[in-house]
Amino acid sequence: MSGLETIYKAEYKSNYRAKSYEDVSIRLYSLGIEYRKDNQWISIPMNDVVSMHTYKETNIVINFGNYPYQSITCRQIEFANEIKRNFKEYKVVQQLLVNPKSTFRKLVLSIFLFFIALIALIYYVVIPWAVNKAVDNFPLQYEKEIGQAIFESAMQKEQIDSGKSRVLNNFFKELHLKSDYNIKLVCVKKNELNAYAIPGGYIVVYDEIIKNMNSYEELVALLAHEYSHIILKHSLRNVFNTLSVRVALTMIFNGFDQGSIAMLGNGAEQLRQLHYSRKLEQKADENSFIIMKGLQINPRGITSLFERFKSVEGAQVPEFLSSHPLPQERIDNINHKIEKEPFPVVEHPLLDSYFMMLK
């Protein structure tokens, strides 16, 4: 063991909390540390050392004995180094071997990771939970105001076919769907395969998608799907997901002001292009099936609609097919429901007549 011959200067306190101290000499011996007091060397076996710590890089403090502990402070870095070399197998010494800068970096990293986890928790758990609660309790009148703002802004850039819009509304009325919403449909002249729902009761259908349909059952499937997004508040949920926390809370607790309405209007194009989650699309599909079953309309209209457009790629993908689950999976789900819940179907000549007028 090295360092046995070297004697260092130190300060001794009979109580580690005491303000006064005695100057003593200190050295190492085979089992630990010795300090000289009153012309006598007193041994401190390493097993009796309660704790050690360093400060200001060169100073080492050793606490030992029973509580309240005695302490010795040595301000010579060489003594601390001798302890580290000769007694590194002791846990109390191993604490001295940890790099303070490394410990600090680990602490900073731990704090950083904690905040990242906290942000992830808020984003993926707390915010969705809050959005769901807000949507479930959001007043219908406010939802209609949101929808009107979005609809009016979106239609400023569109060419509405008034004649086909009247026919489309008559077609929808023949479905006799009852809800708290006064559903309004518009047919837009545009070379795009699309249809989408707006909160509060608006359904926008592009004439191009109707031109590519082969039966009124397919149109019923499309409208039932978009209608389901409205009554199940999926479209409202998408709106809340796009809002800042401040705007959302303002609308929930204080209603609308001109600023929030303008913000919604300016975001109409973004809201139109939003895609629904896998879960919401599946719920809309299932509700479409329930609607068609209640009307005794052939539910194969849903699967034939999906089949017709599932091969379309890129920007031309219709909104109702643009998110997961993929069309084939959704087709399989509906086919499974058709097999599991068979029901009689009847012809609807008036719907067929309106459909031919839209073509």
Domain ranges for the chain, please list them: 8-97, 99-137, 138-358
**Confidence band of 274 (pLDDT split at 50, 70, 90):** low
pLDDT at 230: 95
Instruction: Round to whole Å and give the CA distance between 67 and 53.
Output: 17
pLDDT at 182: 94
Most confident of 171-175, 248-252, 258-262: 171-175
pLDDT at 4: 63
pLDDT at 98: 65
At residue 287, does pLDDT exceed 90?
yes
Query: Tokens 């003594």, residue?
Result: 79
Percent residues over pLDDT 70 in the chain: 82
35, β-bridge pairs: 26, 42
| Amino acid in the structure at residue 206 | Y
Instruction: Round to whole Å and give the CA distance between 307 and 317.
Output: 12
Total-model pTM:
0.64
pLDDT at 55: 82
Of 50 and 16, more confident? 50
Instruction: List pLDDT tens digits, range 318-333.
Output: 555 555 446 788 889 9
Of 81 and 134, more confident? 81
Coil/strand/helix, residue 30:
coil
pLDDT at 307: 86
pLDDT at 257: 56
pLDDT at 268: 52
The sheet carrying 195-198 orders its strands as 184-188, 202-206, 195-198
**SS3 letters across 57-93:** CCEEEEEECCCCCEEEEECCHHHHHHHHHHCCCCHHH
63, β-bridge pairs: 51, 71
At residue 104, does pLDDT exceed 70?
no
Most confident of 150-164, 214-228, 296-310: 214-228
Taking alpha carbons only, the member of 216, 177, 209 closest to residue 192 is 209
Mean of pLDDT values over 183-188: 97
Most confident of 46-55, 163-172, 228-237: 163-172
Task: Please count the helices (runs of H) and the strands (runs of E) in the chain.
Answer: 16, 10
pLDDT at 226: 95
Q: What is the assigned CATH class of domain 8-97?
A: mainly beta
pLDDT at 327: 73
Q: What are the two backbone dihedrals, phi and then psi, of residue 24, each rounded to the nearest 5 degrees?
A: -135, 170
Mean of pLDDT values over 211-221: 95
Half-sphere exposure for 209 (CA within 13 Å, toward CB): 28
CA 247 to chain centre: 18
DSSP for 190-240, please give it.
-SS--EEEETTTEEEEEHHHHHT---HHHHHHHHHHHHHHHHTTHHHHHHH
At residue 5, does pLDDT exceed 60?
yes
Average pLDDT, the chain: 84
> What are the CA-CA distances from residue 291 to residues 176, 216, 227, 296 (Å)?
10, 14, 10, 9
Q: What are the two backbone dihedrals, phi and then psi, of residue 82, each rounded to the nearest 5 degrees?
A: -65, -40
pLDDT at 315: 45
Mean of pLDDT values over 216-244: 89
pLDDT at 216: 97
Query: Tokens 């009325």, residue?
Result: 173
**Confidence band of 314 (pLDDT split at 50, 70, 90):** very low
pLDDT at 311: 64
pLDDT at 324: 42
DSSP for 128-161, please give it.
HHHHHHHHHH--HHHHHHHHHHHHHHHHTTS-B-
pLDDT at 124: 73
